[in-house]
Amino acid sequence: MTRAVVVGVDGSGPARQAAAWAAQEADLRDASLRIAHVVEPGGDPDPAVLARCAAVAHIAAPDRVAHTGTWFGRPAPVLSRLAVDAALLVVGHHGSGRVRPAPGSTAARLAHRHRGPLAVVRHAPGRPLSDRGRPVVVAVDGEPGSAALAHHAAALAALRGAGLSIVHVRRDGPARRESYSVLARHALDELAEAFAADYPTVAVRTCIESGRPARTLLEHTEDAQFVLVGRHAGLGIGACATVLLQASACPVLIVDPTRVDAGLAPV
């Protein structure tokens, strides 16, 4: 069994969706599942929160035993500490009383500060939460770490029996000449060839588009099982990831490409 999948929950609907998604993810990875309810300073613990989330997790993954617990403190730093050695930390896209991850929300704070892999669970109305029939989408920008990020996405796609879409969006402008597109296409084709050998069951599609990266990636989330993006140097996330957290039609996974290998476990 690999390291744990940790999911942070409160009494909100998105938290229960996150618990269901985390349970299925733990089942896929053969990882233990920890459901953590963090009570804000001055708040009172509600046993029903954990009971409901554990029940939802059991329905989503009946063979996966959930270990539950309550902690006290600010949710983002507490969850980050709990998941310091975890395979993945999972949260809903917003908590009680919010519609989307505001700058001070737990999801937004973790996206900017948590060093380990993070999944923020979102999905469009009417779509099943797991959506296993859709491809995994990974956004690459050509910076150092893009290849490691794509390899991680390929490993996740292989685990699911899913396809992989590698998306690179270049901004229009005089500096973006045809030679740039040729180099980008060559780099993506090399990745696809490597994945054909390493992950023969994964159908790889590469895509180079021009325009606004955030808007283009949002369009790709409409047909994605989840979208994987990298964390910038210095822990922060960029504008694209910020927009995805607010409007993606599928879960958003954020990882530090310098801390993953070609397999599933962060190094």
Q: What pLDDT was estimated at residue 266?
A: 43
Q: What pLDDT was estimated at residue 262?
A: 46
Q: What pLDDT was estimated at residue 194?
A: 83
Q: What pLDDT was estimated at residue 161?
A: 93
Instruction: Dump pLDDT digits (tens) for 187-224.
Output: 888 888 888 888 999 999 988 888 888 899 999 999 99
Q: What pLDDT was estimated at residue 227?
A: 95
Which tokens belong to 245? Answer: 């957290």
Q: What pLDDT was estimated at residue 97?
A: 43
Q: Are strands 226-230 and 252-255 parallel, antiparallel or unpaired?
A: parallel
Give whole-number Cα distances, 82 to 4, 16, 67, 90, in Å: 10, 19, 13, 12
Question: 66: exposed, middle or buried (C-beta count within 10 Å: 0-12, 13-18, 19+)?
Answer: buried
DSSP state, residue 39: E
Q: Which residues of 163-172 are buried (b: 16+ CB within 10 A; e: fewer)?
A: bbbbbbbbee
Task: Give phi and psi for 195, each to the nearest 5.
Answer: -70, -30
Q: What pLDDT was estimated at residue 28?
A: 93
Domains of the chain: residue spans and CATH: 2-121 (3.40.50.620), 136-259 (3.40.50.12370)
Q: 10-residue block means of pLDDT along the chain (267 residues)?
A: 89 92 95 96 93 96 95 96 96 63 74 92 76 89 82 93 91 55 75 86 89 89 93 72 91 87 46
217 vs 209: CA distance, rounded Å = 10
